[in-house]
Structure 1
Amino acid sequence: MNMQQVKFFQAITAALPGYQNLAQSVAEVLAISNNEAYKKIRGLSTLSIPQVIKLSDAFNVPFSYQPNQLPSVNFNYLYVNRETPNMVDYMKGLLQNMKEIHQRNDKHIIITTDDVPIFHFFKYPELTCFKLFFWADNPTLKFHSDTLNEEIIAIAKDLHQLYLEIPSTEIWAEDTVHGTLGQIRYAFEAGHITDQDLAEKIVEQLRYCLADINMYAMSAKKTIDPLNGFNWYNCDVLGSLAYLVEFKDAMVCYNRFNTFNYLKTDDQFYCSQTKDWMQGLIRKSVAFSGQGEKQRNKYLYTAFADCDQLLKEMANNK
């Protein structure tokens, strides 16, 4: 059995929509019978180099040869050019990834983060555009109502709805909310936001966002559909920022770096190790969803108080 070939087909499986049959899709791309496709998927019949290229091009999945003595993991680099950031393209890339996840069966996302997952922000136009503005990191620009991008806002709404319809587990750090609050405070004090009403609106939207998350946690689901479950945890020390997407028969891992860029891999051994690490974090965490009302209320009380403090500081500058 050719294990490298089997891993290649596992990666293709992870990239396929849930409704698409692997053997039939492979047979169509290679112009072979379904029976021969099954043999290749199981590693019983060897792929030729031209066949590997056809499959890689058709499913946008790279083939990697890894000698046993040199174990390695291949990542796709999902990035935004910091010199000339294009946030519309960034949002379109996120949307494409989320659509691919959403259309699969038995999906689930586990997140470890030191900042509020941006999918929660996408419900709120000003908060969304401010976050992307801050990430773009152009000190010569000002953030004001006229800079709100309608295309970004429309994409954000689609992303928010998709995220609500994907069951998820979120593991937050102790100071997760502070990251966004600190960004708003800095932008206001540094003069990147000169409209005080707009600055206050962004803080209020952060409060609304936290209230939304509280509602998800209370019912342990993000919509009325119980399949769209929501588990929320707080962990003192995370050590890494990652998104792990689980499907019925495969996993995909996204590691965040440089603020908003991601390294993506569907290497199943790496993903399994990441899942084990995340499950270890959960065992060390405080549960906020479901019955974790006392701990959740204490956490949110502090977060709301920090929001109120920032609003007070802004008011004192009038």
Structure 2
Amino acid sequence: MQRNFIDRLKLTLPAYQNPAQSIADCLDISLNEAYKKIRNKSALTLQQIVRLSDTFKIPIVYQPEETPTVTFSYPKIEGGAPNMEDYLLDLLNNLKLIQAAKEKHLTIVTDDIPLFHLFKYPELTAFKLFFWFESLSSTPQKFERSFVTENITAVARELNRIYLEIPSTEIWAKNSIHGSLEQIRYAFEAGYIGDHSLAEELVVQLRYCLTDMNMYAMSSKKTIDISHTFNWYNCDVLGTIAYLAEMNGTKVCFNRFNTFNFLKTEDPDYCLQTKAWMQSLMRKSVSFSGQGEKHRNKYIYQAFQECDALIKEISGDRSGPGMSS
């Protein structure tokens, strides 16, 4: 338990910061004693673990022998409505921890387009956050381009940039694009989007996002840097959204719930089971990366057809749906 706790503490520190010095300062002990605790030669007391946990915001994970329990943490939403900037900043902190690791990889199993791809496009970012907000709001409102602040847009762009620099594997469900398209269709038909051109722009940006995916898959990397590897798979049957981050031998799992929020755990057994499940899915999936051109082109073509069909629906309805007050 202590070794696992110290390893997770190290991941929270900048590369230039000495873990032993940080522990010594926090616990008011000598540097020599701090090194002993790092090497597991001296036990941390419960009070010391609690102090380190509070200082470095590291959950205490303990699992009694033969008891299959898992402890999760999650971003708490106060008052029933999320603060989108705080939520994105929390995502950014998690992503920066992964990026900072010398050895890292992120595996995603999803039935929706991973949000980090969408964050490249301002209107699509604003709409996705609007849709999430509406799922918790009791007061209907219309979607406008100005729904999010410049600060939120900037954080979203940074999330996209950092994600592109993290080696990753994505396993998409057969209809992963369907969810985003249906959200746009619903918002337009229900009158949340009153501007036809804005609704069409959202679908166009979704097409651009798919074009990005195609480019990443063709080269098996997300940027010109060969270390930013990308593997893309398609699996016919998926029923969940899960992220598994691997950093210098430590694993962290994120499971989505309540539309957009996530449960986070560093439980070793749970993460190992999640990794085994993901690897099993890959073996049963069709690869879109590198030489998987035939299957990838078919998937992209069908997705483009769905996008074009929705644009045609929107442009064909110029009467404009109205939303009751």
The TM-score range, normalised by the shorter chain, is: over 0.9
| Letter paired with 2:143 | F
- Give how far 1:18 is off: 4.5
- Matched-pair contact (CA < 8 Å) for 2:59–2:73: no
- Which of 63-72 and 139-148 deviates more? 63-72
Give me the whole-angstrom Cα distance separating, in 1, the residues matched to 2:59 and 2:147: 39
Hey, what does 1:274 align to over in structure 2? 274
RMSD between aligned residues: 1.9
Hey, what does 1:239 align to over in structure 2? 239
Structure 1 residue 116 and structure 2 residue 116: aligned? Answer: no
Stretches of structure 1 that go unaligned for 5 or more consecutive residues are: none
Identity %: 58
- Give how far 1:155 is off: 1.1
Give me the whole-angstrom Cα distance separating, in 2, the residues matched to 1:133 and 1:82: 17
Correspondence 1:6-85 to 2 at 5 A:
6-80=3-77, 83-85=80-82
Structure 1 residue 296 and structure 2 residue 296: aligned? Answer: yes
Correspondence 1:202-281 to 2 at 5 A:
202-281=202-281
Give me the whole-angstrom Cα distance separating, in 1, the residues matched to 2:182 and 2:233: 22
| Letter paired with 2:229 | G
Give me the whole-angstrom Cα distance separating, in 2, the residues matched to 1:85 and 1:287: 37
Deviations 1:52-94 (A, max 9, x none): 2222122211324433243422111124458323222212221
Structure 1 residue 101 and structure 2 residue 98: aligned? Answer: yes
Change (3 A) 1:199 1:154: same
Give me the whole-angstrom Cα distance separating, in 1, the residues matched to 2:113 and 2:185: 16
Give me the whole-angstrom Cα distance separating, in 1, the residues matched to 2:285 and 2:157: 31
Q: Match of 1:77, SS?
A: coil
- Matched-pair contact (CA < 8 Å) for 1:18–1:105: no
Deviations 1:106-140 (A, max 9, x none): 11110000000010011110011001101112461
Q: Match of 2:74, SS?
A: strand
Hey, what does 2:188 align to over in structure 1? 188
Hey, what does 1:197 align to over in structure 2? 197
| Letter paired with 1:189 | E
- Matched-pair contact (CA < 8 Å) for 2:121–2:205: yes
- Which of 70-79 and 176-185 deviates more? 70-79
Change (3 A) 1:148 1:304: same
- Matched-pair contact (CA < 8 Å) for 1:79–1:260: no
| Letter paired with 1:84 | A
Give me the whole-angstrom Cα distance separating, in 2, the residues matched to 1:64 and 1:251: 13
Q: Match of 1:61, SS?
A: coil
Correspondence 1:295-314 to 2 at 5 A:
295-314=295-314
- Give how far 1:252 is off: 0.8
Give me the whole-angstrom Cα distance separating, in 1, the residues matched to 2:68 and 2:9: 20
- Give how far 1:21 is off: 4.3
Give me the whole-angstrom Cα distance separating, in 2, the residues matched to 1:310 and 1:108: 35
Stretches of structure 2 that go unaligned for 5 or more consecutive residues are: 319-325
Give me the whole-angstrom Cα distance separating, in 2, the residues matched to 1:65 and 1:234: 36
- Which of 97-106 and 224-233 deviates more? 97-106
- Which of 220-229 and 95-104 deviates more? 95-104
Deviations 1:206-238 (A, max 9, x none): 000110111111111111000111110001122
Change (3 A) 1:109 1:38: same
Hey, what does 1:166 align to over in structure 2? 166
Deviations 1:281-314 (A, max 9, x none): 1011100011111000000000000000000111
What is the TM-score of this pair, normalised by structure 1? 0.93
Change (3 A) 1:285 1:67: same
Give me the whole-angstrom Cα distance separating, in 2, the residues matched to 1:243 and 1:64: 19
Give me the whole-angstrom Cα distance separating, in 1, the residues matched to 2:32 and 2:6: 15
What is the TM-score of this pair, normalised by structure 2? 0.91
Give me the whole-angstrom Cα distance separating, in 1, the residues matched to 2:213 and 2:79: 31
